[in-house]
Amino acid sequence: MANLKPPLPRALRPKPKGPSEDNGKAKPGRKEKLAQKGISTIDWIDERTALSGGARWVMFRKIPRGTNWFYTLGSASLFAFLSQAVTGVILAMYYDPSATRAYESVRYLTNEVFLGEFVRGMHKWGSTVMVILVFLHMGRTFFYGAYKYPRELNWVIGVVLLILTLFMSFTGYLLPFDQRSFWATTVGVAINGTGPLVGPYLNDFLRAGPEFGVTTLARFYALHMLVLPGAMAAMIGAHLYLVARLGTTAPPWLKADIPADSRKDGT
């Protein structure tokens, strides 16, 4: 049906905001110009890469009813990982992985470098926070039944991520090379050695030989700042791909309302 209402007189019409007060004839303000520039830069990149399709696929999606704060634990774990990566890179700029200089390099970083103690503290406490977050996130996915079909593979990838996270903490603990880290790691490596079959081999591999020696520290450092974070980044990529592809699981108490034969995902 046509709209028969007469148009409002000009003076009574709501005032348009910003520089377009005279129906777009005024020149755009500085903010508008910047926004326009930003949009055209994104368009320029998108025209050449078609990345927006991927971004849309990842970001614009329906989420199940009942999604709550517990669903943020995965993203919190991701943030903890990124924070560890950034602070770790800064620490690596000062750290010296040699048995005779490691302790001194950490002392120098803590006491002499501007904000060194802060960055070191963030990395140290961040590692504990990350372990807690990953465990909580695992608990959330377990209690919400998110490990079931079709997300079993993502659960398995998650378990690998948990083991890698724990190994990151373990290898990082030795690096300050003070009495506590030395003896704690000696005990930790010996415990590894008691594992069935692979235990003794893992033991030799970690120590880089039959005894704790000068190469042990270099091995822990290489594992801690290259091998494990690289593997974690790859695993997190796969984990997030599956989250984006499969979506997240609705809370089980809501799903129970739906008759089983009308569920589309077969869960």
Q: How far is the CB of 88 from ligand HEM (least distance, A)?
A: 14
Q: How far is the CB of 243 from ligand HEM (least distance, A)?
A: 4
Q: Which residues contact 45 (CB under 8 A, 6 or more apart)?
A: 51
Q: How far is the CB of 118 from ligand HEM (least distance, A)?
A: 24
Q: How far is the CB of 67 from ligand HEM (least distance, A)?
A: 9
Looking at beta carbons only, is 186 or 248 nearer to ligand HEM?
248
Looking at beta carbons only, is 35 or 58 nearer to ligand HEM?
58
Interacting residue ranges for ligand HEM, rule: CB under 6 A: 71, 73-75, 77-78, 81, 134, 137-138, 141, 144, 146-147, 151, 154-155, 158-159, 161-162, 165, 236, 239, 243, 248-249
Integer Cα distance of 200 and 238 in angstroms: 31
| Angle ∠(199,200,204) on CA atoms, nearest 5 | 120
Looking at beta carbons only, is 113 or 129 nearer to ligand HEM?
129
Looking at beta carbons only, is 35 or 166 nearer to ligand HEM?
166
Question: DSSP string covering 30-83, please?
Answer: HHHHHHHHHHHHHHHHHHHH-HHHHHHHHHS----TT--GGGGHHHHHHHHHHH
Backbone CA torsion sign across 224, 128, 104, 82? positive
